[in-house]
Chain A
Amino acid sequence: QITLKESGPTLVKPTQTLTLTCTFSGFSLTTSGLGVGWIRHSPGKALEWLALIYWNDVQRYSPSLKTRLAITKDSSKNQVVLTMTNVDPLDTATYYCARRVWNYDYFDNWGQGTLVTVSS
């Protein structure tokens, strides 16, 4: 059974750095072709893809957020970490991590999501 779960702060102040952790089970990020991505859902808006890391440590980022994001993995711990710097109230959203399927960039298993509010 594949599961993913996001963890991190629920409230962050503007200009601070947000760190979210995705802990997963049922697959390994050492398996060729797999990956884990981050997607967010802001209130009243559509889903927005943020970043993706592959089994071979290649990283891809949303161009609009690239300068503020960093995605890393710890395959021994089955974790993927997303860091977002200089957060703004517009970054208030539910953040999801999801498994990228073998060799294609869509997502077949998602975490439950974690709501992050950016407010002073």
Chain B
Amino acid sequence: DIQLTQSPSFLSASVGDRVTITCRASQGISSSLAWYQQKPGKAPELLIYAASTLQSGVPSRFSGSGSGTEFTLTISSLQPEDSATYYCQQFHSFPLTFGGGTKVEI
């Protein structure tokens, strides 16, 4: 199985801050990575797929980069509504796996 390790597991930041979350894969997964945002009591929402492609309707302050084993999700200017837990998911091979999550507090 491909393990995904997210860091940090928790971060606290202020409105307007630039925030970066890292997802490391235990083996190369090319660009087969997606990022999701999950707010308490809600279903996850797709933010980014193929490592760097923004899903339609997602604000442009979100961006993704990376390939192989190291990936990042960046929020360029943190907004109050970005308070959530963020997960990466690899779709390079089965079983599909998710990272442990990063909780972002504002």
A binds B: yes
| Residue from B34, B38, B98 within 8 A of A48 (CB atoms) | B98
Q: How far is the CB of B60 from chain A (nearest CB, A)?
A: 18
The size bracket of the interface on B is 20 to 34
| Consensus secondary structure, chain B interface | loop
Whether the pair A46, B87 counts as a contact (CB closer than 8 A) is: yes
- Chain A hits for B64, CB < 8 A: none
Instruction: Tell me if A27 counts as interface (CB < 8 A to partner B).
Output: no
Q: How far is the CB of A26 from chain B (nearest CB, A)?
A: 15
Whether the pair B95, A47 counts as a contact (CB closer than 8 A) is: no
Whether the pair A49, B95 counts as a contact (CB closer than 8 A) is: yes
Whether the pair B95, A110 counts as a contact (CB closer than 8 A) is: no
| Residue from B42, B46, B101 within 8 A of A108 (CB atoms) | B46
Interface size, chain A (Cβ < 8 Å): 26
- List which A31-77 residues lie within 8 A (CB) of chain B: 37, 39, 41, 46-49, 52, 60-64
- Chain B hits for A63, CB < 8 A: 1, 95
List residues of chain A with CB under 8 Å of any chain B CB. Answer: 37, 39, 41, 46-49, 52, 60-64, 96, 98, 101, 104-113
Chosen A-B contacts, 25 in total, with CB atoms closer than 8 Å, are A39-B44, A39-B98, A41-B38, A46-B87, A46-B98, A46-B100, A46-B101, A47-B87, A47-B98, A48-B98, A49-B97, A60-B95, A61-B95, A62-B95, A63-B95, A96-B43, A101-B49, A104-B32, A104-B49, A104-B91, A105-B91, A105-B94, A106-B34, A108-B49, A113-B43
